[in-house]
Structure 1
């Protein structure tokens, strides 16, 4: 099962964007649109189950193509080290104080 590793921090930004910081690489990533929805699915509910239906059905998109696109995006996030397979997941969100 994939989750957000402890070295990754994230925050929602204005306009529906999500900023993600990988402390291992010092890299920032900005996700928007469907990318932000995929990230939010992991951050808020622990996975992307049902996300393809939430996106495809209201918009009239092909469900299988949407699932395939989400799976490819999740694989890319995993390859970048932003998602990892591990037993303990810590959700790290930062906010302004």
Structure 2
């Protein structure tokens, strides 16, 4: 089993591998990343926030999504950055090929 950390770019992994997707997020502005689509060959295992190492207010941290490759195929992951008022501010997409 491999553990792959990436930004929103296409990757190829094996069945059972873990994919960690890192996206910048500034929670002080009331925006956060959420999944809008995860292909059925992938399982979302964990979502966590890693705070900024900058102690000043407004420092950008990272939202980390952890997926496990469940079965072979090419599967999409779509995420949206939204303000809590439900307006879309940004999007990120990638494709995971499980070989």
> TM-score range with shorter-chain normalisation?
under 0.3
Which is strand-richer, 1 or 2?
2
